[in-house]
Structure 1
Amino acid sequence: MTSPLLDPVPDDDGAPFWAYAARGELRVQICAECAEPRFPPRPCCPHCRSFGSGWRRMSGRGRIWSFVVPHPPLLPGYAEAAPYNAVLVELVDAPRIRLVGNVVAAPDAPLDSVDPARLRIGAGVRAVFAPPAPGAVPLPRWLLERA
């Protein structure tokens, strides 16, 4: 059975990100030469042009940099989850790195489990991973740090 929601399609550069996510770890690619984090993962560092890279584990803490509550849902698979949120989270460990996701009440909670009125720019969040369905890619989701 396929999901009615959009699932990421890992490529060669991003495959390690998803492999770590499957283990419940939030990691970002870093340059082996200048140590700058980069996301999305790519073969060449935009700062020093090195092709060397590694993966650094992040604390999972971040701040909501931006968010939206889609109205109306444009994709049919998301209609029954409305109103849900889509957030852009700036990582505390790497402030230039921003990840997209959803703020939820628990790792396996539905997309509409947090009242959108509770969301604020700058609110602290932390990454969690729900166990993925068989064959699915585990997505980072976010819990509000202060309930």
Structure 2
Amino acid sequence: MATAPRFWRQNPSRYNMVGIRCNSCGRNFFPPRAICPVCHRKSVGKMEPVKFKGEGKIYSFTEVHEGLDEKASMRPYWVAMVELDEGPKVTGQVIDCDACDLEIGTRVRAVLRKLSEEGPAGVIHYGYKFVPVKGK
């Protein structure tokens, strides 16, 4: 169960796809981190937040038939590694499509959707999922 402070700290990356850019090497990362894994110490003080567009292409994907009980009504569902246009690779569920619509290189965009709920009266967690971009 997430505590309220932790829940709100995660909002920028979860709701707005805010990552981090290393101004030493120019690489972007998601989720945000304090130090660049490429530049190491040279990046200290040179990291800045960056909001990603949330658009990219499918780098890899899989169809899930067995999984968490709370997702039983969704089965099968698809999870993809998406390479964002700005560089980072992120993992997320792909929705509003059929398996035949997906292939490596399919353009997708992030949309805000319900991820989970903590009990019947608990906090509802929202975050990004991906939908195929039609006509691209």
TM-score (norm 2): 0.74
Of 126, 129, 135, the residue aligned with 1:141 is 129
**8 Å Cα contact 1:65/1:87 also seen in 2:** yes
Gaps of 5+ in 2: none
Instruction: Measure the CA separation in 1 of the matches of 2:114 and 2:68.
Output: 24
User: Does residue 34 of structure 2 align to residue 34 of structure 1?
Assistant: no
Of 43, 47, 59, the residue aligned with 2:38 is 47
Instruction: Measure the CA separation in 1 of the matches of 2:52 and 2:113.
Output: 17
TM-score (norm 1): 0.69
**How many residues are matched?**
123
> Displacement of 1:75 after TM fit?
2.3
* Aligned CA-pair RMSD: 2.7
Instruction: Measure the CA separation in 2 of the matches of 1:104 and 1:74.
Output: 16
Gaps of 5+ in 1: 106-113
User: Does residue 95 of structure 2 align to residue 104 of structure 1?
Assistant: yes
Q: Which runs of 4+ in 1 moved over 4 A?
A: 131-134
Give the secondary-structure state (helix, strand or coil) at the position aligned to 1:44: coil
Larger strand fraction of residues: 2
Q: Using the aligned pairs only, state the percent identity.
A: 28
Of 61, 78, 84, the residue aligned with 1:91 is 84
